[in-house]
């Protein structure tokens, strides 16, 4: 299960067309993916304008039937870059498909307070925050204890498979493996964007199995999403 990808076209830096997204989904299916969440960016400046949202949702509906023929359940959510303006919006708009959760981006630059503040807002609204790729954040690279703090709040932590494989740099790779060995990671996803950065997790799984054994599959099969399948999950934590 891949809960973070950009395989639904939305005008962001992900796939440029439905056909490109469907090609990547088909190839991901051949590598073992059975469910994938398209999570277009909700960036600070433009947010998610109504026309863009309508186009994204329509594209997802068209793609979902075709993806199903490849054996893939294509869900839709959004990756929200936290800014104070998002606190005026209902997080329901951004929820991850059938999950009672919102994917909160930990930006590569900037203060860690923004995703934590937005996570609090999401939680107060009754959704479970899932922090996306904290291993790529300068603030977390400088102080990894932020991840433990989020986990102690009952939030879920998602790493990128590409970080685990070292594709974003040595520091990111080392932090990803440290968080994994410390038991602070719940989910591993592709964050796949396009053909040059595809939504594949087979190589990542091999690397995880080699070092973590059977525990690797819990990071990939959706088992750790159990709190996000409960109504009012955030009220009780993990």
CATH number, domain containing residue 28:
3.20.20.140
Per-residue pLDDT, 74: 98
Residue 155 parent element (H or E)? none
Per-residue pLDDT, 233: 53
pLDDT band at 100 (very low <50, low <70, confident <90, very high): very high
pLDDT tens digits, residue range 175-205?
999 999 999 999 999 999 999 999 999 999 9
* Cα(6)–Cα(15) distance, integer angstroms: 6
Answer yes or no: is pLDDT of 67 > 50: yes
Q: Where are any strands of DSSP class E within the chain?
A: 2-5, 35-38, 41-42, 73-76, 79-80, 101-105, 128-132, 156-160, 187-189
In the predicted model, what is the mean pLDDT of the chain?
Answer: 95
Q: Which tokens hold the place of 57?
A: 């949702």
Burial class (CB in 10 A: 0-12, 13-18, 19+), 154: middle
Mean pLDDT of 42-63: 96
* Cα(189)–Cα(79) distance, integer angstroms: 13
Per-residue pLDDT, 237: 39
Residue percentage of the chain with pLDDT more than 90? 95
* Cα(72)–Cα(237) distance, integer angstroms: 30
- Name the packing angle between helices 113-124 and 145-152 (round to 10°): 10
Residue percentage of the chain with pLDDT more than 70? 97
Answer yes or no: is pLDDT of 139 > 50: yes
* Cα(58)–Cα(188) distance, integer angstroms: 27
Per-residue pLDDT, 235: 42
Per-residue pLDDT, 232: 57
Residue range of the domain that includes 117: 2-236
pLDDT tens digits, residue range 106-116?
999 999 999 99
Mean pLDDT of 83-110: 96
pLDDT band at 236 (very low <50, low <70, confident <90, very high): very low
Could you give phi then psi for residue 157, rounded to 5 degrees?
-115, 125
CA angle, corner 169, sides to 166 and 175, nearest 5? 75
pLDDT tens digits, residue range 149-181?
999 999 999 999 999 999 999 999 999 999 999
Per-residue pLDDT, 46: 84
Mean pLDDT of 208-226: 97
DSSP state of 222: S
Answer yes or no: is pLDDT of 134 > 70: yes
Number of structural domains in the chain: 1
Answer yes or no: is pLDDT of 65 > 70: yes
Q: Report the DSSP beta bridge partners of residue 38.
A: 5, 76
5 Cβ partners below 8 Å, 6+ apart?
Answer: 14, 36, 37, 38, 39, 189, 190, 191, 192, 193, 199
């Amino acid at each position: 299960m891949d809960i973070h990808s950009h395989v639904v076209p939305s005008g962001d830096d992900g796939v440029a067309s439905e056909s490109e997204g469907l090609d990547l989904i088909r190839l991901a299916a051949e590598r073992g993916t059975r469910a994938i969440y398209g999570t277009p960016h909700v960036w600070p400046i433009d947010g998610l304008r109504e026309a863009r949202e309508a186009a994204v949702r329509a594209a997802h509906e068209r793609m979902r039937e075709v993806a199903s023929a490849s054996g893939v359940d294509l869900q839709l959510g959004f990756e929200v870059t936290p800014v104070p303006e998002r606190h005026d919006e209902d997080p329901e708009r951004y929820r991850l498909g059938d999950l009672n959760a919102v994917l909160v981006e930990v930006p590569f630059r900037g203060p860690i307070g923004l995703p934590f503040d937005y996570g609090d807002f999401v939680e107060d609204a009754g959704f479970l925050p899932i922090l996306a790729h904290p291993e790529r954040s300068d603030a977390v690279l400088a102080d990894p204890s932020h991840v433990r703090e989020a986990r102690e709040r009952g939030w879920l932590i998602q790493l990128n498979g590409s970080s685990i494989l070292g594709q974003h740099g040595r520091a990111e790779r080392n932090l990803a493996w440290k968080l994994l060995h410390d038991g602070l990671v719940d989910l591993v996803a592709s964050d796949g964007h396009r053909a040059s950065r595809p939504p594949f997790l087979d190589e990542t799984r091999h690397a995880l199995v080699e070092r973590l054994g059977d525990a690797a599959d819990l990071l990939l099969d959706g088992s750790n999403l159990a709190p996000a399948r409960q109504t009012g999950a955030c009220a009780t934590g993990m």
